[in-house]
Amino acid sequence: MSLRQNKTVNLIPTRIELARPLPPLTYLAPEGIPPGVRVRVKLRNGAAMGVVLGPDATPPSVKLKAIESIVDPFPLLPPNLRDLLAFAADYYAVGVAHLMPLCLPNVLVPDWKVEIEKGVRLADLRDEGRWTELAALGDAWHRGEKPLQGLLHRRERRGAGLTEVRRTGVPHPLKVTPAQAKALVALEEAGGAMLESDLRERTGVSAAILALLESKGLIQRTKRLDLLSRRREEGLDHRVVLNEEQCAAAEAVDLARFGAHLLYGVTGSGKTEVYLELAERVLSQGKRVLWLVPEIGLTPRLLARLEARFPGLVALGHAELNISEKQADVVRLLQDEAPIFVGVRNAVLAPLRNIGLIVVDEEQESSYKSEEHPRIHARDLAIKRGQIERCPVILGSATPSLESWHSAQQGRYKLLRLTQRPLGINLPEVQVVDLRDAYREQRKRVVFSKSLLAGISDSLARGEQAMLLLNRRGFENFWMCRSCGKTLDCHHCAVSLTYHKGAYRLRCHLCGFEAVPPEVCPHCGANHLRGVGEGTEQIENQLQALFPKARILRLDRDTTSRKGSMEAGLLAAERGQVDILVGTQMLAKGHNFPQLTLVGILNADQGLRFPDFRAAERTFQLLTQVAGRSGRADKQGRVILQTYSPDHPAIACAIRQDFEGFAEQELRYREALAYPPSTVLALYRSEGDTLEIAKQALEAQKTRLSPIPGLRMLGPLEAPVSKVRDRFRMHLLVKARQRSAISTALAATALAPGGPVVLDRDPLSFG
Ligand code: ADP
Ligand code: ZN
């Protein structure tokens, strides 16, 4: 609808929030348009989408432009979610217009608008400025009534067309026609379920035949977001009887009100069964479950279990969905057709109504924190969302973040423990190899200790699998000249280049810059270049030479960049087509390799050397997770951990699988050095064409912050990586004992949008 030609609408100055770097601007918009409605406006250099904030009582005295069009008939997001957005906008000092795209895919918009314009009733209402009626419609919708059902259904049919066909009954051999049998056989072969379009393409059967089969009760057709059932595994829908601890944990969660809980138990101790139990209770109350996971690709088993337990009720939101899937996703959520929503980070802002439970699985994972603007932390927002929705939140982990552990110790989160070892799962036997001894003995730096080599030979001889971890890609970490001592660095970043032998390139892992390896040193011309620090590519080569008959598979970011290659590799390993897996930490998580009995960690200290106060915590988490990979019910697993510092608490505690011991020591250290969780941090990051420019911007911010009490400031200092893509980077770190001190400071010293400085609240990475 074009507003400018419409005389009946009363246009008044209205503040519209646009995405940064723009501040909110004032446009003419229909009187009474509710805050939260998205509109399109014209800017000097094109169109933009904005969010209505409300009437502007003191409009600027220039000629105001009218908005171009109205995108939503009423605020699409449920009121509770709008409250959460308002909180997040304040907390992270970003505009609501920035957070909106995380809740609703922008691509919904053009489609949506067309539909609304076709819907005569709606268009009429808007033309006459009868916002109250529209708002009432919207309220009804948010309450769960479906006044707009027809509209949404049309959209969904057009946008998505995702119908899944599932096999349900056993046909009598005489009662199906050949065409029907063909469809059933194809379904059988696909594991019981597939997309209707795939099925029809593969078998050539018509929709009528499928309808017939459905009427006979032999198949079922359901609208779905993602084909969880492709991942269906045998025997997952069995129900377990919760043990005493699991029952106690489930009973301790009051579903009628907000409460934050930390469910702490080793991998396999039955946390997921507790979530499932609670989810079932919540569904039976007619409420919904928001279930966050760190990464979709790493949770195939969880998804299969969910689908087995709640067939057809689970929707999935993640980055790899295509546009029409995302649209279907949002429409389904808005219509409440998927009472369980599983998703990654941004799913915490999903337009889900009437939430009765929020689960944050593996709450310690850093992928919950966004490392780009807006830098939200999904775990923290999940707690806030639980408060707003008045429902319990459960954070689960085998190695909780020290933030959450600390909150539990202080009684802010209720601690629920699962201490029992699950049936038949043995802890692996951990053997520590002190690399200093190995060096003394062999008089050279040791990559594979004797014990590790013997362990690999053993597992090969028994036909079992071994996994070796090294957190460094490439062949050699960097090249240096033995004559002048200089390293070969990226031309655009302050890091050295990594040698990739297969590609025969020196590469920058930050910006992707690459160069053909030179013959002689570009600094001094000597031909004494040598590579330092082996990476996974070299480990793979060396292993192949040591064990020529072994089937070796390397999984790291270089070998898995093609879509689906990671899954293919993991599947091959699960099926026993691989003898030795070599890879980076991406291998440590979530997979289930039944034949794996040996895990070798080549250099456990590697992560400890990072200049980051969380280095020990991350190392502990990684080592504990890795150790959990090895060993199954019927075979004793082994971990061989090579290290130069066996006495470091992170390593010593990981060997004993002693989280609490580690947490106690580490929390004391954090307290002594005033690091989180005993303090809260905010990191101002600035970028400029020179270090000086980047620094000045931070100096200015520091001056503005300095009168505010309760803050300690460090910097401005060069960022640990002081240049990336030719932009120089500086940091200003702000510490406070109280979260409120930081909030006050932020409110008083808001940054100019679009400036060189950005804020990273509760920073996780300091790179
Ligand atoms: P976690 O989430 O802590 O890693 P899971 O809930 O996945 O643990 O449990 C690990 C395995 O043990 C699963 O196969 C699960 O079905 C099984 N399991 C959990 N609790 C019980 C129980 N009370 N009785 C029998 N099996 C159980
Ligand atoms: Zn670079």
pLDDT in tens, 653-705: 988 889 999 999 999 999 999 999 999 999 999 999 999 999 999 999 999 99
State the ligand closest to the CA atom of 490: 2
Q: Which ranges constitute the DSSP H helices of 285-434?
A: 300-309, 323-334, 378-389, 402-409
What is the mean pLDDT of the segment spanning 460-480?
A: 91
Range with top average pLDDT, 144-158, 288-302, 606-620, 681-695: 681-695
CA-proximal residue: ligand 1, atom 15 (nearest): 270
What pLDDT, on a 0 to 100 scale, did the predictor assign at position 116? 33
Could you tell me the CA-to-CA distances from 255 to 229, 274, 288, 293, 411 in Å, in that order? 29, 13, 12, 21, 19
Beta carbons within 8 Å of 168's beta carbon, 6+ residues apart: 217, 218, 219, 220
Looking at the CA of residue 301, tell me the nearest atom of ligand 1: 7
- Per residue in 2-56, pLDDT (tens digit) is 444 444 567 889 998 887 667 788 998 887 888 888 888 888 878 888 888 889 9
Looking at the CA of residue 361, tell me the nearest atom of ligand 1: 2
CA distance 609 to 132: 61
State the ligand closest to the CA atom of 265: 1
Could you tell me the CA-to-CA distances from 360 to 111, 276, 409 in Å, in that order? 33, 13, 19
Q: Please, which residues bridge with residue 530 across strands?
A: 480
CA distance 411 to 403: 12
CA-proximal residue: ligand 1, atom 17 (nearest): 270
Q: Please, which residues bridge with residue 260 across strands?
A: 393
State the ligand closest to the CA atom of 496: 2
Percentage of residues in the chain with pLDDT exceeding 70?
A: 79
Measured in Å, residue 497 CA sits from the centre of ligand 2 at 8
Looking at the CA of residue 269, tell me the nearest atom of ligand 1: 3
CA distance 360 to 604: 28
Measured in Å, residue 724 CA sits from the centre of ligand 2 at 6
Q: Please, which residues bridge with residue 418 across strands?
A: 265
- Per residue in 55-84, pLDDT (tens digit) is 998 888 888 888 887 777 677 778 889 899
Residue type, 587: L
Looking at the CA of residue 276, tell me the nearest atom of ligand 1: 6
- Per residue in 299-348, pLDDT (tens digit) is 667 877 887 888 778 887 765 555 555 555 665 666 566 789 888 898 99
30 phi/psi in degrees, rounded to 5: -55, 140
State the ligand closest to the CA atom of 497: 2
Residue 502 banded pLDDT, cuts 50, 70, 90: confident
pLDDT score of 114 more than 50: no
CA distance 326 to 225: 8
What pLDDT, on a 0 to 100 scale, did the predictor assign at position 213? 82
Pairwise pLDDT comparison (234 vs 246), residue with the higher score: 246
CA distance 564 to 635: 30
CA distance 416 to 437: 42
Could you tell me the CA-to-CA distances from 54 to 28, 35, 352, 369 in Å, in that order? 11, 5, 24, 31
State the ligand closest to the CA atom of 723: 2
What pLDDT, on a 0 to 100 scale, did the predictor assign at position 173? 44
Looking at the CA of residue 266, tell me the nearest atom of ligand 1: 3
What pLDDT, on a 0 to 100 scale, did the predictor assign at position 334? 64
Measured in Å, residue 633 CA sits from the centre of ligand 1 at 13
**Burial group, residue 487, by CB count within 10 angstroms (0-12, 13-18, 19+):** middle
What is the mean pLDDT of the segment spanning 226-250?
A: 69
Other residues' Cβ atoms within 10 Å of the Cβ of residue 652: 18
Q: Which ranges constitute the DSSP H helices of 224-299?
A: 244-251, 271-284
Ligand 1, CB cutoff 6 Å, lining residues: 240-243, 246, 265, 267-273, 422-423
Is pTM beyond 0.85? Reply is no
pLDDT score of 754 more than 80: no
Q: Which ranges constitute the DSSP H helices of 674-738?
A: 691-705
**Quick check: 685 and 760 in contact, CB under 8 A?**
yes
Measured in Å, residue 564 CA sits from the centre of ligand 2 at 27
What is the mean pLDDT of the segment spanning 237-259?
A: 91
**Quick check: 645 and 651 in contact, CB under 8 A?**
yes
Of 127, 121, 117, 16, the C-alpha closest to 71 is 117
Other residues' Cβ atoms within 10 Å of the Cβ of residue 417: 14
Mean pLDDT of the chain: 81
Range with top average pLDDT, 46-50, 191-195, 330-334, 466-470: 466-470
What pLDDT, on a 0 to 100 scale, did the predictor assign at position 555? 87
Measured in Å, residue 666 CA sits from the centre of ligand 2 at 34
Token pair listed for 432: 């520590």
Tell me the best of 236, 240, 418 to mutate to test the pocket of ligand 1, counting ligand atoms within 8 Å of each CB and taking the most: 240
Measured in Å, residue 473 CA sits from the centre of ligand 2 at 15
CA-proximal residue: ligand 1, atom 10 (nearest): 268
Pairwise pLDDT comparison (512 vs 23), residue with the higher score: 512
Tell me the best of 244, 273, 426 to mutate to test the pocket of ligand 1, counting ligand atoms within 8 Å of each CB and taking the most: 273
CA distance 110 to 591: 40
Measured in Å, residue 625 CA sits from the centre of ligand 1 at 17
Token pair listed for 243: 């043990």
Of 83, 81, 108, the C-alpha closest to 351 is 81
Q: Which residue's entry shows tokens 């969302």?
A: 385
**Domains of the chain, start order:** 3-76+110-143 (no CATH), 162-224 (1.10.10.10), 240-418 (3.40.50.300), 429-473+534-669 (3.40.50.300), 476-533 (no CATH), 680-761 (3.30.70.600)
CA distance 340 to 356: 10
**Quick check: 373 and 687 in contact, CB under 8 A?**
no
Measured in Å, residue 510 CA sits from the centre of ligand 2 at 5
Q: Which ranges constitute the DSSP H helices of 337-480?
A: 378-389, 402-409, 435-442, 450-461
Residue 231 banded pLDDT, cuts 50, 70, 90: very low
pLDDT score of 108 more than 50: no
Could you tell me the CA-to-CA distances from 417 to 29, 275, 314, 660 in Å, in that order? 55, 13, 27, 12
Measured in Å, residue 512 CA sits from the centre of ligand 2 at 6
CA-proximal residue: ligand 1, atom 25 (nearest): 240
Token pair listed for 148: 């707009």
